[in-house]
Amino acid sequence: MTHIVIHDGGDANTQYCQFDDVETAVSYLEELRNTEAVEDAKLFALDEVMFEVKQYFKVEVLDPAPVSADDTTVTPIVESLKTPEILPTAEDPPVGFDEPIEAVVPGGSSDGRRGLFGR
């Protein structure tokens, strides 16, 4: 695991030193304290964070038309829409549809129904 030591440098800039193992980082901390009198050093363990980059689409209006506060009229999108015409119906129903047809199911009752779960 990667470790990082962060401390203030001599020129008032923050120093970041990265190490491959904790032992090397600790020996660097000891050197900072003993030879350079650095007291504000911090040691951090770094873990990789997995992430995925995805596309993002943003829609922008390029040239919006100015709208005045007095403009309250609504313009229809499609003016050619009509209500559907109802076809004329015949007074007599077509031949063959005068009476309902009763379904006969083998093993069923006289009214065409079967028992529980069709058994």
Task: Please name the amino acid found at residue 26.
Answer: V
Whether 55 maps to a domain, the answer reads no
Residue 61: the pLDDT is 84
- pLDDT-derived band at 112 (thresholds 50, 70, 90) equals low
pTM: 0.42
List helix spans (H) across the chain: 22-36
Rounded Cα gap, residues 19 and 28, in angstroms: 9
Whether 15 maps to a domain, the answer reads yes
Residue 34: the pLDDT is 92
- pLDDT-derived band at 10 (thresholds 50, 70, 90) equals confident
Q: What is the pLDDT of residues 11-47, one digit of tens each?
A: 778 989 999 999 999 999 999 999 988 888 999 999 8
Whether 14 maps to a domain, the answer reads yes
Q: Are 44 and 3 in contact (CB under 8 A)?
A: yes
Whether 9 maps to a domain, the answer reads yes
Looking at per-residue confidence, does 51 or 86 come out higher? Answer: 51
**How many distinct structural domains can be found in the chain?**
1
Strand order in the sheet with 2-8: 14-19, 2-8, 42-46
